[in-house]
């Protein structure tokens, strides 16, 4: 990290706030932020019309080596699936419909760019 740049944690928090505002603007209700369990963390859990969406938010400060989406690898997907199952099993209706989205935020020069990939992966189809 060079002088004057925000830390990775501060950058991540900024990206999560932007993603949360964007999702609310799109009609989602934020149910939980930074849900932490024995299997990992889910950045945002939102709901819209009976659909629960587990969101992974990846924030980068520039176009660097790889896109933020590429950081969501198979291991991360599996941890998200286990964390989502854990969260759903603690609910009164664990059979709710759900999906996994990835939101990428690029904080380069100029305006930040946000991209929302709905149904970005299906862990049950990775086997």
- pTM of the predicted structure, to 2 decimals: 0.85
3-state SS, residue 47: strand
pLDDT band at residue 1 under the 50/70/90 scheme: very low
Token pair recorded at residue 81: 């699936």
Q: Is the pLDDT reported for residue 82 higher than 60?
A: yes
Domain ranges of the chain: 8-125
Q: 14-32 burial, b if ≥16 CB within 10 A, otherwise e? A: bbbebbbeebeeeebeeee
pLDDT in tens, 8-67: 888 889 999 999 999 999 999 999 999 999 999 999 999 999 899 999 999 887 666 555
Pairing of the two strands 113-121 and 29-37: unpaired
Which of 33, 32, 45 is closest to 98 using CA atoms?
A: 45
Domain covering 8-125, topology: Trna Endonuclease; Chain: A, domain 1 (3.40.1350)
3-state SS, residue 110: coil
Q: Which pLDDT belongs to residue 21?
A: 96
Q: Which pLDDT belongs to residue 43?
A: 96
């Amino acid at each position: 990290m060079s002088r004057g740049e925000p830390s990775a944690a501060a950058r991540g928090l900024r990206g999560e706030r932007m993603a949360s505002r964007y999702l609310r603007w799109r009609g989602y209700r934020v149910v939980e932020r930074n849900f932490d369990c024995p299997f990992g963390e889910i950045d945002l859990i939102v709901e819209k019309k009976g659909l629960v969406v587990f969101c992974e938010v990846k924030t980068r400060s520039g176009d660097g080596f790889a896109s933020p989406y590429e950081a969501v690898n198979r291991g991360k997907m599996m941890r998200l699936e286990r964390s989502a199952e854990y969260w759903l099993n603690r609910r009164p209706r664990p059979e709710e419909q759900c999906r996994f989205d990835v939101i990428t935020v690029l904080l380069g020069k100029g305006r930040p760019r946000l991209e929302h990939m709905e149904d970005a992966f299906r862990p049950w189809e990775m086997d």
